[in-house]
Amino acid sequence: MAKRQTNTSNYLPKSVKELSGFTKANLQLDEYQTNFVDAIINPNKLIVFCNSKAGTGKTTLAVGASQMLVDAGGYQNGIYYIASPTQEVKQGFLPGNINAKSDPYFEPFYEALHKIGVNKFLATYDDAESQKFGDSIYHAITHTYLRGCNFEDSIIIIDEAQNYYNDELKKVLTRCADSCKVIVIGHTGQCDIFDHPERSGFARYIKHFSNDERCSICTLIKNYRGWISSKADELEF
């Protein structure tokens, strides 16, 4: 889906300290969050996994770091946020067109854009056709419409990755060229694939990539939503 490729790694920021946008957005990062953002920025890391609990800032940090890499002149084809409809087979029975049916899955992306000071209405929903020919910097799509598409010179954010079946996550990852930065975020403790949670591809792909130096695996610790969220997350099923 890329129109052009550029090698911009020579002048992209190399550390979170160079990303003034986080300070402007009043996002003070802890040690683990800093390591996550630094991994995203690192031009030698083609894929970054973050397996962390709720409220730790996974999506906001991924979107914020991605935005600033694009602002710095990298990844000319923009940011692609890819969501997984957890009960995809039922999606066709929901009211409205495909945009209305898929939009709830993009809410974390919109919220993250808002937190870093970007108007969420700049993000466009992409169907199969606009995936190939769209011009927007921000793209939101479910993995359902990726057949026949390829990602080049883009930042790919795969959110709630624990809700992707093995074949679904493979479908997304095999469409990413090495000119991309791929960020895979989720939490293995919050899988919504109730029928067959063992078929989630998230943990398997973390293990699959873990021994390669082009991959970084990060964990965030603190839940910044507060006591209610933290206490609720302690209970395992």
**Cα dihedral sign for 59, 64, 69, 71?**
positive
Q: Which two tokens stand for residue 216?
A: 């970084």
Q: By three-state DSSP, how is residue 151 classified?
A: strand
CA angle 104, 110, 115 (to 5 degrees): 145
Secondary structure (3-state) at 5: coil
Average pLDDT over residues 66-93: 80
CA angle 192, 29, 19 (to 5 degrees): 110
Please list, in sequence order, all residues whose beta carbon lies within 8 angstroms of the beta carbon of residue 172, skipping any fewer than 6 positions away: 82, 143, 146, 156, 158, 164
151's CB contacts (< 8 A; 6+ apart) are 1, 2, 77, 80, 175, 176, 177, 180
Query: Average pLDDT for residues 28-44, to the nearest whole number?
Result: 93
pLDDT at 105 over 50: yes
For residue 129, what pLDDT is reported?
43
C-alpha to C-alpha distances, 164 to 21, 77, 93, 192, nearest whole angstrom:
31, 24, 21, 9
Q: What pTM does this model have?
A: 0.84
CB 116 within 8 A of CB 64: yes
Task: Give tens-digit pLDDT for 192-232.
Answer: 766 676 778 999 999 999 999 999 999 999 999 999 999 99
What are the tokens at 137? 């910097």
Token pair listed for 155 = 């930042």
